[in-house]
Amino acid sequence: MVSNKKSMIFPWGHERRYNDYPTFIKNKFEGRVQKLSINAGFTCPNRDGSKDWRGCSYCNNNTFRPEYCEPEKSITEQINEGIDFFKKKYPDMLYLAYFQSYSNTYGDLPLLERIYSEALAHDKIVGLVIGTRPDCVDDQILELIQKKAEHHFVTIEYGIESTFDTTLERINRRHTFQETIDAFSKTNNLNIHTGGHLILGLPGESREDMLCHAKRISDLPIDTLKLHQLQIVKQTTFAKEYQKQPVDFDLFDLKNYIELVVDFLELLRPTIMVERFVSQSPGDMLIAPKWGLKNFEIVAKVEKRLKERDTWQGKLFQ
């Protein structure tokens, strides 16, 4: 770490007090690159009856699906409509095809080969981001993705959600943290970029538990992390539980959440890139908490608090 009277350069090579993902992407592609969501019509083993029918207790996929993402449309059609949305402001921008809805490795190999290849064939697509569950990959699927990663930037994003099996059971996740560990290990062994999602504020987890997540995730071979505050959204199991027994949910106010994020960052391995700090569900679907701020405003508050405390990502990492 290099410092002087005016600024400090952190191990990730710039003055921001956390290792941010957007800077990595900008440097990698030497320009503006945007994720473009795609709905390829997948389901997941927690919804098709393989493990359960109810889905995860917090989950409503409609909270993060743009209007153009309809599985009835081809991959190319969805890409073109997504590009049309952005190109007026950023005509030269390139894109990562983000297979986001449900579990995007939960299909047979010919299907996965076809949809991934169709996305990469588009002249504005420079890579793939594949969202899935730790229990929805095997050696053949990872080898298929590895071949794509030989010529393109590819990330597999796993839903971690919690590092405690008691919590995973409470939220009806239907996999264990050991399965998460195994999935990251196999993926890393094939030199595929890995990302993860973690929810802070799940029922039954104390503040100490949430900070323990930072230590456990730092032990994973993970490249990128997304943090989400627990949100109660309509048409979920948690929405029903919250209506009946709201005391079971200790939802954050914004000030306490920012403080937790800063504490979390202090413990997080500095080589992990942080892509986001919060979720943002549509207002008409969100029940609680309602903070009324955009993502960039939350980022500014986190950075302000890091500076006020004169701290940074990994300061307490061991």
How does pLDDT run along the chain (318 residues), one tens digit per residue? Answer: 665 545 789 999 999 999 999 999 999 998 899 999 999 999 999 999 999 999 999 999 776 666 667 778 999 999 999 999 898 888 999 999 999 989 999 999 999 999 999 999 999 999 999 999 999 999 999 999 999 999 999 999 999 999 999 999 999 999 999 999 999 999 999 999 999 999 999 999 999 999 999 999 999 999 999 999 999 999 999 999 999 999 999 999 999 999 999 999 999 999 999 999 999 999 999 999 999 999 999 999 999 999 999 999 999 998
Structural domains in the chain, CATH included, are 2-308 (3.20.20.70)
pTM for the structure as a whole: 0.94
The confidence score (pLDDT) of residue 5 equals 45
Residues 245, 73 contacting (CB under 8 angstroms): no
The confidence score (pLDDT) of residue 72 equals 84
Residues 268, 217 contacting (CB under 8 angstroms): yes
Residues 6 or more apart in contact with residue 298 via CB below 8 angstroms: 254, 258, 277, 278, 291
CB count, 10 Å around CB of 256? 13
Alpha helices (runs of H) in the chain, residue ranges in sequence order:
21-29, 75-87, 109-120, 139-149, 165-170, 177-189, 207-218, 237-244, 254-267, 295-308
Residues 18, 265 contacting (CB under 8 angstroms): yes
286 phi/psi in degrees, rounded to 5:
-85, 130
The confidence score (pLDDT) of residue 63 equals 64
- The alpha-carbon radius of gyration of the chain (Å, integer) is 19
Written as one string, the DSSP assignment of 106-144 is -S-HHHHHHHHHHHHTSTTEEEEEEEE-GGG--HHHHHH
The confidence score (pLDDT) of residue 70 equals 78
The confidence score (pLDDT) of residue 65 equals 60
Residues 156, 112 contacting (CB under 8 angstroms): no
Please state, in angstroms and rounded to a whole number, the distance separating the CA atoms of residues 87 and 132.
28
The confidence score (pLDDT) of residue 67 equals 66
Size (the chain), residues: 318
The confidence score (pLDDT) of residue 146 equals 98
* C-alpha torsion sign, points 128, 131, 134, 137: negative
Please state, in angstroms and rounded to a whole number, the distance separating the CA atoms of residues 1 and 14.
10
